[in-house]
Amino acid sequence: MHKQPDVSAQGTPDHDTTLNRLKPILLNQTSFLLCFILVLGVLVAIINPNFRNIRNIINIFQQVSVLGIMSAGVGMLLIAGEFDISIGSQLSVIGVVMAMIIEQKSNIPLSIIVSLLLGGLLGFVNGVTVVKSKAASFIITLGFMVGYKGLALVISHGYAYRLKGQFTYLGRGRLLGFLPIQVVVFIGVLLIAYVILRYTRYGRLLYAIGGNREAAYVSGIKTERNIIVAYMVVGLLNGLAALVLISQLGAAYPNTGDPFALNALAAVVVGGTAITGGKGSALGIFLGVLIFGLISNALNVLNVNAYWREVVLGLIIISAVTISKLSLEKE
């Protein structure tokens, strides 16, 4: 007598086929994030039609512009297998110095030049220290985070410096009357990061160093020099982010950059950049940053307690890291 197959243990053929089709999507970070953004956007728009208003969409991009600029640098650095969690404190130092120059000398060109140079210098110091000490970059930059925070307090004496209505265009200006300049800067930075990572030799070196540093060194790649350059890029983008943020706020405080300390790293990891290095993309960085803005905005539109934002983001970070780990094991 013919024995019927036991489908209770293995599931129906249609069910297995569906799972097999969904598995590549669920295990691919970019596909997962795109689906998540689409589903969340549709659900929130159904509940509150104001969510899909063009002004609200622009507002989302405006809210994450500074975070996105900083995340581009952090993402490229993480691809090389290095961390920098001092970025928030760097921004505070740069912002205070920039605002002091504008408040005391009303010299905007000088403040821009000094901000970018100072950012590059702080990144250089971080990179050289990490490379020469051969210690874990997470620990070294944790020390720099505390040190730079103290430096911002020393320079400012704990006081805020105000721009007195000067230099507002970068943070509050609009292109064509509706598109915030800071959004243009944000998109421009990510496009440059995309080109660097996808089409330049330097981008390929970052992936090689992050994938296997010893093999990269043996093959003739100047790993230390490229890592220092990656830290300097982070610093330069921190300087640019400080210009945008302080221009938007109209004042600099010694703790201005504190909220960005771990958010940029979290956004980059959510976007699919492997914490072990060697994997990541500019598109993933963009999607990770967009997730942060989308959730915050959705909670506001739905009148949900803002404290839930941290809970939801925490769950997303855990899910993203898990998916990233599963993707790496699959490869």
- pLDDT tens readout for residues 66-78: 999 999 999 999 9
Q: Choose between 82 and 276: higher pLDDT.
A: 82
The answer to whether the beta carbons of residues 151 and 241 sit under 8 Å apart is no
pLDDT of 145 > 80? The answer is: yes
Tokens of 1: 């007598």
What average pLDDT score do residues 294-314 get?
Answer: 80
pLDDT value of residue 18: 54
Q: What is the pLDDT of residues 42-93, one digit of tens each?
A: 988 888 888 888 888 899 999 999 999 999 999 999 999 999 999 999 999 9
DSSP letter (8 states) at residue 4: P
- Average predicted confidence (pLDDT) for the chain: 87
pLDDT of 326 > 70? The answer is: no
The answer to whether the beta carbons of residues 310 and 317 sit under 8 Å apart is no
pLDDT value of residue 313: 75
pLDDT of 165 > 90? The answer is: no
Residue ranges of domains in the chain, CATH in brackets: 31-43+50-330 (1.10.3470)
The answer to whether the beta carbons of residues 161 and 99 sit under 8 Å apart is yes
**How far is residue 25 from each of residues 33, 138, 193, 302, measured CA to CA in Å?**
10, 31, 25, 28
pLDDT value of residue 21: 56
What average pLDDT score do residues 305-320 get?
Answer: 77
pLDDT value of residue 185: 96
Range of weakest confidence among 10-24, 92-106, 188-202: 10-24
Report d(CA 252, CA 249) in Å as an integer.
Answer: 8
Instruction: pLDDT band for 8, please (50, 70, 90 cuts).
Output: very low
3-state secondary structure at position 226? helix
Q: What one-character-per-residue DSSP string does 71-98 give?
A: HHHHHHHHHTT-----HHHHHHHHHHHH
Q: What is the pLDDT of residues 223-272, one digit of tens each?
A: 999 999 999 999 999 999 999 999 999 999 999 998 888 889 889 988 88
Report d(CA 158, CA 152) in Å as an integer.
Answer: 8
Instruction: pLDDT band for 208, please (50, 70, 90 cuts).
Output: very high
pLDDT value of residue 309: 75
The answer to whether the beta carbons of residues 85 and 53 sit under 8 Å apart is no
Residue type, 308: W
Give, for 231, the enclosing helix (H) or strand (E): helix 223-249
pLDDT value of residue 1: 47
pLDDT of 106 > 90? The answer is: no
Tokens of 275: 């914490």
Each residue of 148-159: b (16+ CB within 10 Å) or e? bbebbbeebeee
pLDDT value of residue 186: 96
What average pLDDT score do residues 276-285 get?
Answer: 91
Phi, psi of 169 (to 5 degrees): -65, -45
HSE of 97 in the Cβ direction (CA atoms, 13 Å)? 21
- For residue 174, list its beta bridge partners: 180
Instruction: pLDDT band for 111, please (50, 70, 90 cuts).
Output: very high
Q: What one-character-per-residue DSSP string does 8-39 give?
A: HHH--HHHHHHHHHHHHHHH-HHHHHHHHHHH
pLDDT of 116 > 90? The answer is: yes
